[in-house]
Structure 1
Amino acid sequence: MSNRKPYVREMKATWWQKSNFYRMYMIREATVLPIIFFTLCLTFGLGSLVKGPESWEAWLSFMANPVVVAINIVSLAGSLFHAQTFFTMFPQVMPIRLKGKLVDTKIIVLGQWAAVAAISLIVLIIV
């Protein structure tokens, strides 16, 4: 038996702040927090819609609170940032070939944003 202690490298809580790659990764992962709040707000909104007009009005007044509006704007920005990072990674993870040639990454990313815009427009027209 050896009495030697194994080497344990020191890991500070701010290790991720030293590299731009890890910093952007942590910011991307942190975008889930305001999105969770937004999802919970929508879920409670559906519940209040089922409960009746008084509950619905209370939910609408809650959603009109400037703090809630600000958090929802941050949620939208986080969601768009998350989508942008996903769309730029997509051609690297799953390259698309047409007639044996790779499709340009810019075309793939623009196609994804065009799909987002089209779906958003359809939803706006329906609602």
Structure 2
Amino acid sequence: MSNRKPYVREMKRTWWKDHPFYRFYMVREGTVLPLILFTLFITIGLGALVKGPEAWNNWLHFMANPIVIAINIVALAGSLFHAFTYFNMMPQVVPIRVGGKLLDKKIIILSQWAVVAVISLIVLFIV
């Protein structure tokens, strides 16, 4: 048997703070936490809707809490941040060719935002 010890590189809990790329990545991934809470709130609301008017009114009262409103605003910001980063990455991941030429990145990104706006308007009109 050998007396050598294997090299174990020290890994601090804050390793990601040293590089801007990893900081950005961790912030982006951290925005999922308010989105999880938002999803739970909506799921609880659906359950309250099934249980009857009293449960529904209690849920509406819960949703009017300033902390819940703040969480929902942060969740919306996180969702828009995810969409922004995904839409900016999309032309690199899936380059679109029209007539043998690459479509301009700005056109792809703006068309995705246009689709989001149209779908949002349709949902707003329905609700």
| TM-score above 0.5, yes or no | yes
Which amino acid in structure 2 is aligned with residue 122 of structure 1?
Answer: I
Identity, in percent, stands at 72
Equivalent residue of 1:12, what SS? coil
Using the TM superposition, give the Cα deviation of residue 10 of structure 1 relative to its aligned residue in structure 2, in angstroms.
1.0
- 4+ residue runs over 4 A deviation: none
Per the alignment, residue 8 of structure 2 pairs with: 8
Per the alignment, residue 101 of structure 2 pairs with: 101
Supply the distance in 2 between the matched residues of 1:3 and 1:110 (Cα, whole angstroms). Answer: 62
1:42-81 deviations in Å (ceiling 9; x for gaps): 0010110010000000000000000000000000000000
Give the CA RMSD over aligned residues.
0.7
Q: What is the correspondence of 1:57-72 to structure 2 with a 5 Å cutoff?
A: 57-72=57-72
Using the TM superposition, give the Cα deviation of residue 2 of structure 1 relative to its aligned residue in structure 2, in angstroms.
1.1
Q: Which runs of 5+ in 2 are unaligned?
A: none
1:94-123 deviations in Å (ceiling 9; x for gaps): 111111111111111111111111000000
Aligned length: 127
Supply the distance in 2 between the matched residues of 1:83 and 1:116 (Cα, whole angstroms). Answer: 9
TM-score scaled by length of structure 2: 0.98
Equivalent residue of 1:113, what SS? helix
Which amino acid in structure 1 is aligned with residue 87 of structure 2?
Answer: F
Per the alignment, residue 45 of structure 1 pairs with: 45
Q: Which runs of 5+ in 1 are unaligned?
A: none
Supply the distance in 1 between the matched residues of 2:46 and 2:12 (Cα, whole angstroms). Answer: 43
Per the alignment, residue 25 of structure 1 pairs with: 25
Supply the distance in 1 between the matched residues of 2:94 and 2:16 (Cα, whole angstroms). Answer: 27
TM-score scaled by length of structure 1: 0.98
Moved more, 57-66 or 104-113: 104-113
Supply the distance in 2 between the matched residues of 1:75 and 1:7 (Cα, whole angstroms). Answer: 42
Supply the distance in 2 between the matched residues of 1:63 and 1:81 (Cα, whole angstroms). Answer: 23
Is structure 2 residue 77 aligned with structure 1 residue 74? no
Supply the distance in 2 between the matched residues of 1:106 and 1:7 (Cα, whole angstroms). Answer: 48
Which amino acid in structure 2 is aligned with residue 85 of structure 1?
Answer: T
Per the alignment, residue 91 of structure 1 pairs with: 91
